[in-house]
C-alpha cells in the first residue's frame, strides 16, 4: 500500500489550524477592501498550491477565475454608480468604481472558497470529530438520519397518493383536503411503526444505555499548541483592528477612498502567509526526518 500523504498542520493539535482557518476565512468575508482581498486571495492560492498540489489548484481556478471575471463584468450593469465614466454600452454607463467593486467581490468569493478548500486538507473528518464534545458527536448521526428519512418520507407520500388514486372501486376521487388527511394519517402510522424498530436497533447498539459513551482522543493539547493558539488569537486581534481602520477609510462610491498606511497591512500579510509558511516548515521537517 502507498503511504498516506501527510497533511498540513499534522504535527499540531487540530484546534490550531481550526482557529487559524476559521479566523482567516471570517476576516476575508468581512474585510471588503481591495488590497486586503487581493492579499487574502494570494495567500489562499499559495497555500492551495502547497497543500492540494498544482493540478487540483489549477482545476479549481479553471472555474473560479471565470466566476471572478463574470462578477466583475456584470456588476457595472446592475450597479451603475460612480464618478469615473469609462464607456457607455447603450443606455448603460460603465464606471471604474463599479468595476473595482465587482472585482473585489469576485476575488473575495474565490478567496473564501480557496480557504475552505485548504482547511479541508488540514482538518480531516477525524480531526474535526476530535474537537467536538461527546454530545456534539451525536449531531452527525441526527443529520445522516434526517437526510435518509426525509427522502424516504417523500417517496412514501408519493406511494400513498398513487395507491389511493388507483383504488377506483371506492367511488370518486376524494378532494384535496381529504386526500391530504388520509396521506398524513398513513404516513404517521408508518413512521410510528418504523420509529419503534429504529429505537430498538439503536438501543441494541449501545445508544442511551445509561452509561456515558467512551471516546478515544488521538490528540492532546500540549504546551506549544496552547502557545500557538494564543499567538494566533493575538494575530487575529491585530488583523481585526487593522482591517477595521483600513475599511473605515475606504469607500467604493462615489469615488474610491484611501488605501491607508502600508504598515496596517503587515499583520494581514502575516496572517494569510502563515498557513503556507507552516506547511513549508512541516514539509522541511518531514524531509529532514526521512533523510535521518
pLDDT of residue 86: 79
Q: How far is CA 58 from CA 9, 18, 55, 124, 275, in A?
A: 23, 25, 5, 22, 19
pTM of the model: 0.71
Eight-class DSSP state of 102 = H
- Rounded distance, CA 223 to CA 23, Å? 21
pLDDT of residue 212: 62
Q: Report the chain's mean pLDDT, rounded to a whole number.
A: 82
C-alpha cell at 42: 494570494
- Rounded distance, CA 139 to CA 264, Å? 41
pLDDT of residue 152: 82
List the chain residues with pLDDT less than 70.
Answer: 1-8, 129, 132-141, 168-174, 207-218, 286-292
pLDDT of residue 112: 94
Amino acid at each position: 500500500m502507498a503511504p498516506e500523504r501527510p497533511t498540513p498542520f499534522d504535527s499540531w493539535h487540530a484546534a490550531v489550524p481550526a482557529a487559524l482557518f476559521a479566523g482567516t476565512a471570517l476576516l476575508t468575508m468581512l474585510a471588503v477592501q481591495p488590497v486586503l482581498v487581493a492579499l487574502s486571495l494570494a495567500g489562499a492560492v499559495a497555500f492551495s498550491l502547497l497543500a492540494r498540489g498544482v493540478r487540483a489548484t489549477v482545476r479549481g481556478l479553471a472555474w473560479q477565475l471565470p466566476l471572478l471575471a463574470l462578477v466583475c463584468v456584470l456588476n457595472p450593469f446592475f450597479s451603475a454608480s460612480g464618478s469615473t465614466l469609462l464607456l457607455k454600452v447603450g443606455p448603460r454607463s460603465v464606471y471604474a468604481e463599479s468595476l473595482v467593486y465587482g472585482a473585489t467581490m469576485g476575488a473575495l468569493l474565490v478567496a473564501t472558497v480557496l480557504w475552505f478548500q485548504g482547511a479541508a486538507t488540514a482538518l480531516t473528518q477525524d480531526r474535526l470529530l476530535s474537537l467536538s464534545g461527546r454530545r456534539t458527536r451525536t449531531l452527525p448521526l441526527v443529520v445522516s438520519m434526517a437526510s435518509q428519512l426525509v427522502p424516504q418520507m417523500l417517496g412514501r407520500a408519493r406511494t400513498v397518493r398513487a395507491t389511493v388514486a388507483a383504488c377506483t372501486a371506492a367511488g370518486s376521487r376524494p378532494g384535496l383536503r381529504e386526500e391530504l388527511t388520509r396521506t398524513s394519517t398513513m404516513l404517521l402510522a408508518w413512521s410510528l411503526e418504523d420509529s419503534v424498530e429504529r429505537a430498538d436497533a439503536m438501543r441494541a447498539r449501545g445508544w442511551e444505555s445509561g452509561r456515558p459513551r467512551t471516546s478515544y482522543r488521538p490528540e492532546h493539547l500540549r504546551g506549544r499548541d496552547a502557545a500557538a493558539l494564543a499567538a494566533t488569537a493575538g494575530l487575529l486581534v491585530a488583523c481585526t483592528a487593522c482591517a477595521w481602520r483600513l475599511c473605515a477609510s475606504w469607500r467604493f462610491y462615489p469615488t474610491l477612498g484611501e488605501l491607508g498606511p502600508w504598515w496596517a497591512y503587515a499583520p494581514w500579510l502575516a496572517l494569510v502567509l502563515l498557513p503556507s509558511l507552516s506547511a513549508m516548515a512541516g514539509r522541511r521537517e518531514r524531509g529532514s526526518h526521512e533523510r535521518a
